[in-house]
Amino acid sequence: MNNSESSNFDKMSFIPVSPESHFPIQNLPYGVFSTADNPQQRIGVAIGDQILDLGVVKSLFEGPSALNAFMGLGRAAWSEARQTIQNLLSADTPTLRDNASLRERAIVPQSSATMHVPARIGDYTDFYSSKNHAFNVAQPPVFTACKLFDFELEMAFLTGPATKLGEPIPMDKVEDHIFGMVLMNDWSARDIQKWEYVPLGPFLGKNFGTTVSPWVVTMDALKPFVTKNMPQDPKPLPYLTHEDDYNFDISLEVAIMCDGLSSPATICRSNFSNMYWTMKQQLAHHTVTGCNINPGDLMGSGTISGEMEDSFGSMLELCWKGTKTIELENGVTRKFLKDGDEVIMTGFCNGNGYKVGFGTCVGKVLPALPM
């Protein structure tokens, strides 16, 4: 991290921010939101429990008007926008701080905003995770609703500038194409997955939906939290080899809220640093055959599980394939998810007196639709 980046992380915002907030001036994640008085979906930056509406302050700098297009501009534009927004929100800068009229229009309480999917991600749509129907492992197979419904604790990164079909991204350029990260729940129907994955691999056990958190935390915000890469043996092939560290110390938690609980029960505590492969390796591998990318493509990490039992990133692992009961509280137990269960994922990095976090990734299980 260069000196200018370091000094930016020492600034304070004129907007009060709790030390426990995921969104201090050191973070500034991007999201897409709307409000009751303005249903237009627009780009905002989270600061404390507020949102800076970039559409209102666009005259002050050449900022993003569409998040996918902004992702496509590349690292120089990302860093310039970040520094400008940090300066604009700084307690030392009067532009917004001392302009009450502009501040009233530009600063929106998060509590009054509706968040949307942060980028155009292929055919991604908003949904509550609903149990699907397919054959399960009964003998003979039965077409019925999933009975072993599960979450998977993952993270994902969103890609930057587009590439051309047929052109791999070499390792020394991969970082230029990674914009930022979100939390991700890769919902899974385990009984359906077990029935279909040999010999075809999972399809209907996975294709019914994915949930992501609404705020995209940029790689610039995550730089101070780089940690050692996981040792890899055998050594990866040359196109997957990089010597610099590109792993991140991100604390992750999963909680369940359901009938019978007074508050969400945390069932998993893990860390992104448990990942064997880095995001650089993932993107280099994804494109080595010439597969092209577009701004805002979503690349999931895979399940993030640690070595300890309480760090396993799915119900399948936590309950040891249904052989162990997971105690929540008040006598409420689970092996797999039930209708009405709400899964709440959160993640954050611990700084010196502040957190750089992702907020929450929340999804609720609804009953399967009648067939």
DSSP per-residue letters across 149-172: EE-BEEEEEEE-S---TT-PPPHH
Q: How far apart are CA 130 and CA 166, in angstroms?
A: 37
Selected catalytic residue, list 133, 242, 285, 286: 133
Strands (E), 173-250: 178-185, 188-189, 211-212, 217-218, 226-227, 247-248
- In angstroms, what is the C-alpha Rg of the chain? 21
Residue 355, amino acid: K
Tokens of 201: 């691999």
Number of H helices, E strands in the chain: 10, 22
285 is catalytic: no
Q: How far apart are CA 168 and CA 161, in angstroms?
A: 13
Tokens 């577009």 belong to which residue?
294
The residues annotated with a catalytic role in the active site are 133
